[in-house]
């Protein structure tokens, strides 16, 4: 924590960005959006570190552990956030929450004597959805191929006593994953603005999950909300884990502000 003008040190929110960089900016924007203010000084302190060139591809490592691991780079970036005063850190990348990455980061920080708290975005999203929408039972999931095949959302949805609804393998490979990674139209290559084809593929996948009976849908790639920012699509709630992560980071640092954040989220 950093104290200024002799005041008591205040907690600082850390954003471990770079996976992809626009998702890190999106998280920062959502923290701003969930903070009612009248002047600059009312905003919450946030530090963002985005070193994408340091971080090996998460999916490549998860599918083949012989490939370079992103863990050392993510630990090093987390330590830089702590050096800048961060006390609680969020990673706007769903794939980085695979146990082989997320748990390894936490363990390495603990071993090295650091005390950063890492907020688990996927667990926060599931818990918040179950609390906010208790009548929902069948939750659709969209995400990267790693999120799909490793069941990163499915396992936690099922642990919460809910049913996960997944897209078919063919749609996952040929539409959903290409929405993220295709070099010609994917969001990683074209995030601002997102291409019409990326949005069209994502909407096709949303409609596909709707036909399979999903009551709500997790946008389980932090770049998907850049393409579909609407909170509902044809009456189905689209749950943005980045927005839930923003709320959780506020709760963990400035709990007196979370009621205001909830009011803004539920407008």
* pLDDT at residue 265 tops 70: yes
* pLDDT at residue 6 tops 50: no
* pLDDT at residue 173 tops 70: yes
- pLDDT computed for residue 87 by the predictor: 95
Mean pLDDT computed over 137-147 = 97
What contacts 136, CB < 8 A, 6 or more positions away?
129, 162, 215, 216, 237
Mean pLDDT computed over 151-156 = 97
- pLDDT computed for residue 262 by the predictor: 86
CA angle 187, 193, 198 (to 5 degrees): 40
Q: How confident is the model at residue 9 (pLDDT cuts 50, 70, 90)?
A: low
Backbone angles phi, psi at 263, to 5 degrees: -60, -40
For the segment 94-110, what is each residue's pLDDT rounded down to a tens digit? 999 999 999 999 999 99
Would the pTM of this model clear 0.85, i.e. be above it?
Answer: yes
* pLDDT at residue 245 tops 60: yes
- pLDDT computed for residue 266 by the predictor: 81
Contact by Cβ (8 Å): 227, 194: yes
* pLDDT at residue 5 tops 70: no
* pLDDT at residue 267 tops 80: no
For the segment 21-56, what is each residue's pLDDT rounded down to a tens digit? 999 999 999 999 999 999 999 999 999 999 999 999
Domains in the chain (CATH in brackets) are: 12-120+244-265 (3.40.50.1860), 122-241 (3.40.50.1860)
Q: Three-class SS string for 222-240?
A: CCHHHHCCCCEECCEEEEC
d(CA 256, CA 11): 13
Q: By three-state DSSP, how is residue 206 classified?
A: helix
Contact by Cβ (8 Å): 17, 48: yes
């Amino acid at each position: 924590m950093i104290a200024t003008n002799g005041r008591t040190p205040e907690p600082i929110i850390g954003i471990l960005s770079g996976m992809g960089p626009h998702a890190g900016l999106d998280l920062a924007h959502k923290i701003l959006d969930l903070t009612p203010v009248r002047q600059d000084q009312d905003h919450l302190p946030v530090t963002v570190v985005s070193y994408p060139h340091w971080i090996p591809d998460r999916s490549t490592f998860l599918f083949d552990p012989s490939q370079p691991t992103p863990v050392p780079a993510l630990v090093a970036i987390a330590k830089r956030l702590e050096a800048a005063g961060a006390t609680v850190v969020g990673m706007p990348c769903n794939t980085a929450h695979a146990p082989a990455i997320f748990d390894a980061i936490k363990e390495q920080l603990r071993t090295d004597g650091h005390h950063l708290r890492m907020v688990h975005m996927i667990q926060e999203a599931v818990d918040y959805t179950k609390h906010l929408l208790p009548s929902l039972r069948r939750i659709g999931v969209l995400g990267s191929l790693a999120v799909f095949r490793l069941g990163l959302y499915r396992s936690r949805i099922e642990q919460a006593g809910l049913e996960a609804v997944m897209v078919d393998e063919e749609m996952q490979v040929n539409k959903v994953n290409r929405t993220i990674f295709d070099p010609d139209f994917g969001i990683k290559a074209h995030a601002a603005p997102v291409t019409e084809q990326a949005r069209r593929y994502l909407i096709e996948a949303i409609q596909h999950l709707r036909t399979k009976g999903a009551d709500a849908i997790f946008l389980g790639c932090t770049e998907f909300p850049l393409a579909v920012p609407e909170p509902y699509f044809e009456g189905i709630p689209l749950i943005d884990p980045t927005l839930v992560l923003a709320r959780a980071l506020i709760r963990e640092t400035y709990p007196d502000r979370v009621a205001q954040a909830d009011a803004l989220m539920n407008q």
